[in-house]
């Protein structure tokens, strides 16, 4: 089974902290994604990567950065967490745009 | 640019009744379409996908969807729902290759006993 693992299910951070969300996939997928999920807004793409060290901005990249140093790992970084970044964060991977994405369980981040 | 519209945010339906969840998309190029399901406190998992070929696509758990190019729709259907189908359903579109996948806002299906 394809597995996408996110490092934390629940996370509570203080405003201004630097936050790292880690995601690892075990299927040698080329593409990796970070989405943010909020009620009524569906999934919104923050960043995606189609190769090591490559990244593309999604629809809502402001306040976020990413890192992909190894093919299997894609990290989302909140440089200075703010309360409006309280949300569910979903990582996904896919072999290509022609194939389905596999999702992690999600990280529910609360910024206080 | 591509986009997905799921007009119904919530759909209540009685158990064993049929259901249709609507999805419309827009794109200037050929598209690949997906339906995902999200059970409470879980990530998304694939229900079915349309890449090419037959416009009627069958997926897991008895769901099916029909690709209609002229109406730019990809509605999801099930002839008889079960309590366990209570979940949120997302329609998604991709233009393939290295292009991003765009998701709709989701439809919550509530199956009533």
Contact A65, B65 (CB under 8 A): no
Instruction: Report whether pLDDT(B76) > 80.
Output: yes
- If one counts every other C-beta atom within 10 angstroms of the C-beta of residue A76, the result is 23
Question: Residues of B with CB below 8 A from A8's CB?
Answer: none
Question: Residues of B with CB below 8 A from A4's CB?
Answer: 43
Give the chain A residue whose CA is nearest to the CA of B32: A98
What's the confidence (pLDDT) of residue A61?
96
What are the pLDDT digits (tens) for A23-63? 999 999 999 999 999 988 889 999 999 889 899 999 899 99
Rounded to whole angstroms, the Cα distance separating A52 from A71 reads: 5
Quick check: B5 contacting A, CB < 8 Å? Answer: no
> What one-character DSSP code corresponds to residue A20?
E
What's the confidence (pLDDT) of residue B106?
95
Helix (H) or strand (E) holding B90: strand B87-94
């Amino acid at each position: 089974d394809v597995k996408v693992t996110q490092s934390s299910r629940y996370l509570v951070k203080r405003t201004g902290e630097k936050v790292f969300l880690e995601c690892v996939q075990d299927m040698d997928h080329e593409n990796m994604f970070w989405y943010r999920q909020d009620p009524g807004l569906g999934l919104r793409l923050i960043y995606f990567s189609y190769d090591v060290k490559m990244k593309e901005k999604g629809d809502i990249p402001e306040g976020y950065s990413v890192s992909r140093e190894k093919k299997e790992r894609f990290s989302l970084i909140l440089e200075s967490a703010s309360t409006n970044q309280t949300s569910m964060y979903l990582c996904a991977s896919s072999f290509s745009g022609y194939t389905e994405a596999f999702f992690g369980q999600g990280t529910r981040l609360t910024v206080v | 640019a591509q986009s997905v519209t799921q007009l119904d945010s919530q759909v209540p339906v009685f158990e064993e009744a049929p259901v249709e969840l609507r999805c419309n998309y827009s794109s200037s190029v050929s598209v690949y379409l997906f339906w995902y399901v999200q059970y409470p406190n879980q990530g998304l998992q694939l229900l079915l996908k349309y890449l090419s070929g037959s416009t009627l696509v069958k997926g897991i758990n008895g769901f099916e969807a029909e690709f209609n190019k002229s109406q730019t729709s990809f509605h999801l259907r099930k002839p008889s729902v079960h309590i366990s189908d209570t979940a949120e359903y997302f329609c998604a579109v991709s233009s393939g290759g290295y292009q991003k996948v765009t998701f709709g806002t989701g439809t919550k299906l509530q199956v009533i006993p």
